[in-house]
Amino acid sequence: MAFTIQEIGRIDHIVGDWCIRRVPPEIKNKLDHDYEIDGQAVTLLEVRPLWKGLPGEFTRSPFAKFRFVKTSGIWQIYWRRASGKWQAYEPDPVAFSIDEALRIVEADQYGCFFG
Domain membership of residue 86 (yes or no) is: yes
The C-alpha atoms of residue 99 and residue 11 are separated, in whole angstroms, by: 9
Q: How confident is the model at residue 1 (pLDDT cuts 50, 70, 90)?
A: low
Task: Give residue 103's identity as a one-letter amino acid code.
Answer: R
Domain membership of residue 115 (yes or no) is: no
53 vs 20, higher pLDDT: 20
Domain membership of residue 72 (yes or no) is: yes
- pLDDT given at position 56: 81
Domain membership of residue 46 (yes or no) is: yes
Domain membership of residue 114 (yes or no) is: no
Q: How many domains does the chain have?
A: 1
Reported as a single tens digit per residue, the pLDDT across 36-94 is 999 999 999 999 999 887 888 999 999 999 999 999 999 999 999 999 999 999 999 99
Domain membership of residue 28 (yes or no) is: yes
Q: CA nearest 61: which of 10, 113, 18? A: 113
Range of the domain at 37: 5-107
Residue 103 has pLDDT above 90, yes or no: yes
